[in-house]
Amino acid sequence: MFNKLKNMRAKKIVAGVSLATATAVASTAGMASTALTPSTADYTFTVENKYKGTATRTLTKSGNSWNYKVNARVAGVATANQSSTFSLSGNNIIPTSASTAYKVFGIGNTHNMKFSDSGKKVASTYRGKTVNLSAPNRAFDDLSLEAQIRQDLLTGKFTGNYYMVKKDKVEKTPFKKVGNTKVTVPAGTFDTIRVDRIHEDSDRSTSFWLAPSLDYLPVKVAQVNDGKRMEMALTKVR
């Protein structure tokens, strides 16, 4: 019975930590630009108003090679680490490789991706099994997708139509703009644009509040999955 309850809690925490590591690319504060900016941003998040954690996102650039890393943790319970490498060609994010590793109560898994053909082909390795996948258009990992959404908003080319790699398949992953609102988080009060991911399952919802004054940095993220809620808020951009 203890193991069953432990596994149930682990699944809930992983859902929250996974979203915490899958939010958008951080940028520096200031005037909106039309390109990504290397930066670091800190967040806090809660899972079911019970588990509290922190996440740090770091975006770096070397030539035209970008690396985006996310480290998230719930002290004594779970850790999650993501990394994505991509290049920028005009307005297009071209993913090269990505990895995700998480542990809950010391037990975890990894997911690695290698992209080719400008993101239309990917070798996805999960639990030691590699699957070769193809997509009708560029496919993304979580982080390069968030980079593309932000880039599209910066240049006024947001359509909401994207494809994302999910372990053994490529899924069409649509988003939509919902409206404008003010949001207050530990980092301050911001005018934001809300962007929602469109889920086929009516029991799921994912919303991002993005601040144009911070180059569309997400200042708040909220997700509901099977009745379980996760919220994340920006604490600092540095």
**pTM strictly above 0.85:** no
Residue 125 domain-assigned (yes or no) = yes
Please, where are the H alpha helices in the chain?
2-21, 142-154
Residue 65 has pLDDT above 60, yes or no: yes
Confidence bin at 25 (pLDDT 50/70/90): very low
Residue 197 domain-assigned (yes or no) = no
Domain count, the chain: 1
Residue 191 domain-assigned (yes or no) = no
Q: What is the mean pLDDT of the chain?
A: 86
pLDDT in tens, 118-142: 999 999 999 999 999 999 999 999 9
Query: Where does the chain show beta strands of DSSP type E?
Result: 39-47, 51-62, 65-74, 78-89, 92-104, 107-116, 121-126, 129-134, 139-140, 163-166, 169-172, 175-185, 188-197, 205-211, 217-225, 228-237
Residue 226 domain-assigned (yes or no) = no
Tell me the percentage of the chain whose pLDDT exceeds 70. 86
Residue 158 domain-assigned (yes or no) = yes
Parent domain of 70: 2-174
pLDDT in tens, 39-48: 899 999 998 8
Residue 18 domain-assigned (yes or no) = yes
pLDDT of residue 223: 94
pLDDT of residue 144: 96
Residue 101 has pLDDT above 50, yes or no: yes
How many CB atoms sit inside 10 A of residue 67's CB?
A: 17
Residue 94 domain-assigned (yes or no) = yes
